[in-house]
Amino acid sequence: MAKILNGYSLPNIPWQPRPENDNSPIWRYDANPIIGRHDIPRANSIFNSAVVPYKGEFAGVFRCDDRTGHMDLYVGHSKDGVKWEISNDPIVMYNEKGEVVPYEYRYDPRVLFMDDKWYVTWCNGFHGPTIGMAYTTDFVHFTQLENAFLPFNRNGVLFPRKIGGRYMMMSRPSDNGHTPFGDIYVSQSNDLEFWGHHRWMMGTWGGWQSTKIGPGPVPIETDEGWLMIYHGVITTCNGFVYRMGSALLDLEQPWKVLYRSKDYILAPYELYECVGDVPNVTFPCAALTDADTGRIAIYYGCADTVTGIAFTTVDELIRFTKENSL
């Protein structure tokens, strides 16, 4: 059995067993979506959000597009990881001088615990999309750091520890629009401010991942490698379709891909994934894990409108990735 490394016990992880006669590598929560589009006042949609264990319960940073169409980040809390109370107002971030940091838009966050802080990365509007970074210790006060890169870039995802003495972040260089291209790269830093030593990780392949790909949740460290869940996009006559895939990366040189799924692991099938502001989207942003059982709960945006959960285990996803590798 594969083991989660540097993980923690999470006995209250949201979970449902696999339905009978279902051989899919991951399976949906039967009460999806867990967060509706109007769960806070003035919300148009709540999706592509990141959650973490916090003080025996759960906390998260949520993407909410309001009724003007503005994209922003909100804090949420939950006792069980399923029913959420989300703030009515966007997060206010201050820089290290105590000044409020201006921005154009903020969306698609990821959250992880590292160096005794909760770090948040997101797509930050700075004369075009780039990677914003901040940290918090209480999900109340947020200190924003310098943007990691120049525009144009999206899907900034940190690894949860230093590797070879350096912080590492995946990202997907882009353009100022909807980006009909995109590969995943890894960048390295000594201080979370200056990034370099860029390495190409993997690119598009064909079929469901032929237009662009991008990293999803924070990678899961296992004794067989970093388990990464990512999104892949195909351009169809009806527009983009977003599906999920999985890959296993080398622990010490994570830009080296050991295995990568040829088949997708989740695709827009259900009505709430196929119908919404942007139809046919399943977009993963967070994954809770329980080191004792190997259970994984994946939080994903559905049709750029609502939020769902899907389940798997480390063993199941690694097995599938190896047996269906490119």
Averaged pLDDT, 2-29? 96
pLDDT digits (tens, 9 = 90+) for 105-151: 999 999 999 999 999 999 999 999 999 999 999 999 999 999 999 99
Given a cut of 90, whether residue 160 has pLDDT beyond it is yes
Percent of the chain with pLDDT over 70: 100
Residue matched to tokens 């973490």: 52
CA separation, residue 247 to residues 57, 62, 144, 314 (Å): 29, 25, 31, 12
- The overall pTM is greater than 0.75: yes
Contact (Cβ atoms closer than 8 angstroms) between residue 266 and residue 310: yes
Given a cut of 90, whether residue 55 has pLDDT beyond it is yes
Report the distance separating Cα 268 and Cα 279, nearest Å: 9
Q: What pLDDT score was predicted for residue 232?
A: 98
Q: What pLDDT score was predicted for residue 6?
A: 95
DSSP string, 187-202: EEESSSSSEEEEEEEE
pLDDT digits (tens, 9 = 90+) for 251-268: 999 999 999 999 999 999
Tokens of 176: 């100022």
Class of domain 27-323: mainly beta
Q: What pLDDT score was predicted for residue 79?
A: 98
Report the distance separating Cα 285 and Cα 307, nearest Å: 10
- Region of 182 please: left (phi>0), alpha (psi -120 to 50) or beta: left
pLDDT digits (tens, 9 = 90+) for 177-194: 989 999 999 999 999 999
Q: Residue 55, SS3?
A: coil
Contact (Cβ atoms closer than 8 angstroms) between residue 228 and residue 215: yes
Cα end-to-end span (Å), the chain = 23
Report the distance separating Cα 206 and Cα 212, nearest Å: 10
Cβ neighbours around 41 below 10 Å, total: 9
Tell me phi and psi for residue 183, to 5 degrees.
-110, 165
- pLDDT category at 173 given cuts 50, 70, 90 is very high
For the chain, which residues make up each domain, given as ranges? 27-323
Given a cut of 90, whether residue 1 has pLDDT beyond it is no
